[in-house]
């Protein structure tokens, strides 16, 4: 029995699953640090399944970073994929590689309404692009463009690496502190797991506060438990996310809506909704009105990236562009 495998691989975790009859099966999350490369992780995954695995025939991997050529180097971990070597080692005829937030964008087209949390209800403008972005190990950005058949084309890009926008004196001070350390300050430098820690350290340095937390999880937990410094940091994080999302939505004309995805945001969903995210999202001077009615959703589904990888593989096998998908429900 042949089987297809799909993967959603970021900087920290490799999510793997079997893809059968349009459904995910046997989802597992592995640490990228525990394996020398994706081949070893996939072999370990298949070994845990035993007779459920079958004979591996097709693989689609959604990978963090720009995808092209035979060799792919991950942006935020040590893994490297050579398509030729990968297929030889695993006995495959072909490997489909796609950008991770292209997969995320495809995945959100098939989510149920109960897998989306309204950050702001708005007016969906038909036939307009939709923006998908979110912080995790890095900051992913993807775009959904409508096609002429009622489906969507997922456009790959590296929007997480745009310059960090500055909208206040406090943000200018934080940017100056980080610029002295980093040189170029990208959105991803702040809007990611490690970025939240960098923001916390910069804030403590500017405010003369003692460092007490070493991870994004600790900063988030402290904020949700009422620590004043952590609250201020997480509030600034949400505000900056709003600025970046608003810039991208304005650039794309994303009046079809904005999806906030990634691993971080569901952990503080209520905080995000109550934060300055929306105010920063639409604070664009004379174009603020353009953004005021764009709906924003928080993706709460477990594995939208894996689902998107499965959809891409399914369409590729049908001889169609792997980056086209239908929309399950008009949210």
Q: How far is CA 90 from the centre of its chain?
A: 28
Q: Do residues 148 and 273 share a domain?
A: yes
Structural domain includes residue 221: yes
Q: Do residues 296 and 312 share a domain?
A: no
Is residue 41 very low, low, confident or very high in pLDDT (cuts 50, 70, 90)?
A: very high
Q: What is the DSSP string of 157-208?
A: --GGGSBPP--SHHHHHHHHHHHHHHSS-BHHHHSSHHHHHHHHHHHHHHHT
11 is annotated as contributing to ligand binding: yes
Q: Do residues 53 and 184 share a domain?
A: no
CATH number of residue 18's parent domain? 3.30.420.40
Range of the domain at 128: 113-300
7 is annotated as contributing to ligand binding: yes
Q: Do residues 173 and 94 share a domain?
A: no
Domain count for the chain, please give it. Answer: 2
Q: Do residues 240 and 199 share a domain?
A: yes
C-alpha torsion angle, residues 77, 78, 81, 82 (rounded to 10): 150
Q: Do residues 145 and 100 share a domain?
A: no
Structural domain includes residue 331: no
Structural domain includes residue 12: yes
What pLDDT does 330 receive?
A: 44
8 is annotated as contributing to ligand binding: yes
CATH number of residue 295's parent domain? 3.40.367.20
Q: Do residues 146 and 283 share a domain?
A: yes
Q: Do residues 122 and 248 share a domain?
A: yes
pLDDT tens digits, residue range 159-211? 999 999 999 999 999 999 999 999 999 999 999 999 999 999 999 999 999 99
Greatest CA separation found in the chain?
Answer: 63
9 is annotated as contributing to ligand binding: yes
Q: Do residues 82 and 165 share a domain?
A: no
pLDDT tens digits, residue range 239-290? 999 999 999 999 999 999 999 998 899 999 999 999 999 999 999 999 999 9
Structural domain includes residue 99: yes
Q: Do residues 97 and 150 share a domain?
A: no
Q: Do residues 29 and 10 share a domain?
A: yes
Q: Do residues 85 and 198 share a domain?
A: no
pTM of the model as a whole: 0.90
């Amino acid at each position: 029995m042949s089987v297809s495998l799909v993967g959603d691989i970021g900087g920290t975790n490799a999510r793997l699953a079997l893809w059968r009859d349009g459904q995910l099966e046997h989802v597992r999350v592995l640490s990228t640090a525990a394996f020398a490369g994706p081949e070893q992780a996939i072999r370990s995954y298949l070994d845990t399944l035993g007779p459920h695995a079958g004979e591996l025939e097709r693989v689609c991997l959604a990978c963090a970073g720009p995808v092209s050529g035979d060799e792919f180097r991950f942006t935020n971990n040590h893994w490297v994929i050579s398509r030729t070597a990968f297929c030889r080692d695993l006995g495959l005829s072909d490997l489909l590689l796609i950008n991770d937030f292209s997969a995320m964008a495809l995945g959100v087209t098939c989510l149920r309404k109960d897998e989306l949390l309204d950050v702001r209800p708005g007016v969906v403008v038909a036939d307009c692009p939709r923006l998908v972005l979110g912080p995790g190990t890095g900051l992913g950005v993807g775009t959904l463009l409508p096609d002429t058949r009622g489906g969507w084309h997922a456009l790959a890009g590296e929007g997480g690496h745009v310059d960090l926008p500055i909208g206040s004196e406090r943000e200018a001070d934080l940017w100056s502190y980080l610029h002295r350390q980093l040189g170029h300050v990208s959105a991803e430098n702040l809007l990611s797991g490690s970025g939240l820690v960098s923001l916390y350290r910069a804030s403590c340095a500017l405010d003369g506060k003692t460092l007490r937390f070493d991870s994004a999880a600790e900063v988030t937990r402290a904020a949700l438990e009422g620590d004043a410094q952590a609250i201020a940091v997480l509030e600034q994080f949400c505000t900056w996310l709003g600025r970046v999302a608003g810039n991208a939505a304005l650039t794309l004309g994303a009046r079809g809506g904005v999806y906030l995805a990634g691993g971080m945001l569901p952990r503080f969903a209520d905080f995000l909704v109550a934060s300055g995210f929306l105010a920063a999202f639409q604070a664009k001077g004379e174009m603020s009105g353009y953004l005021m009615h764009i709906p924003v959703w928080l993706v709460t589904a477990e594995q939208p990236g894996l689902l998107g990888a499965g959809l891409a593989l399914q369409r590729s096998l049908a001889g169609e562009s792997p980056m086209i998908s239908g929309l399950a429900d008009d949210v």
